[in-house]
Chain A
Amino acid sequence: QQQVKQSPQSLIVQKGGISIINCAYENTAFDYFPWYQQFPGKGPALLIAIRPDVSEKKEGRFTISFNKSAKQFSLHIMDSQPGDSATYFCAASSPFGNEKLTFGTGTRLTIIP
């Protein structure tokens, strides 16, 4: 049972463009929604996270948009750079589930010059 669905599976964006990755969840008990960035051979690293009491959170070039009624959230990377090329995972957790993370299937992002 896939509780967090992520799309697209892969994404190619030109340098300077906007990268957008989407996720949808099913479990309404989820109350914490982080995005992780993973480079080859490394563990995932937290990029940005949001709670459902706000609809948007911005940190530098990275923005999470959250739609509670639709049970959807997305990551926007503005002015995408080649160094942003990585795999991105959305995730969700619930305090009733020991805060364990349920991950999306990942998006391989490639930024081309």
Chain B
Amino acid sequence: GAGVSQSPSNKVTEKGKDVELRCDPISGHTALYWYRQSLGQGLEFLIYFQGNSAPDKSGLPSDRFSAERTGGSVSTLTIQRTQQEDSAVYLCASRRDGVGGTQYFGPGTRLTVL
């Protein structure tokens, strides 16, 4: 079946604007994760969804970041009032329910804040 898809693949925005990044997980995967990959910080966890609930938001760097998931499927990561330090690749991963399942990653959205 299809893998994890993300859109847009690239996003260039101006400082202070809001952006929305979309993730379509693998069908039937109940767990969904957002990660951020930046040159200085490597790959870091942002938020975890189980179904439509987000029991772990511990990685969100500030209150400018939020995410939601609807229908147990699509997830949107929103960054408000973007800053230059938000420039990074935002990766989404999904996992089948259960312990220790493989996380499958999408291709990412490259965000550039000018």
Contact = CB atoms under 8 A, between A and B. Distances in A.
Interface in B35-79: 35, 42-45, 48, 50, 55-56, 59
Interface of A: 31-32, 34, 36, 41-46, 49, 51, 89, 91, 93, 95, 97-106
B97 to A, nearest CB: 10
Interface of B: 4, 31, 33, 35, 42-45, 48, 50, 55-56, 59, 91, 93, 95, 99-108
A51 B101 CA distance: 12
The 10 closest A-B pairs by CB, nearest first: A43-B105, A103-B43, A100-B45, A105-B42, A98-B48, A98-B56, A43-B107, A32-B100, A44-B105, A46-B102
B100 A100 contact: no
Given A102-B45, A103-B44, A104-B42, A95 B33 contact: no
Given A43-B107, A45-B105, A46-B103, A99 B95 contact: yes
Contacts of B43: 44, 89, 91, 101, 103, 106
Given A98-B56, A99-B95, 11 more contacts: A41-B107, A42-B108, A97-B56, A99-B31, A99-B99, A99-B101, A100-B33, A100-B48, A101-B33, A103-B43, A106-B43
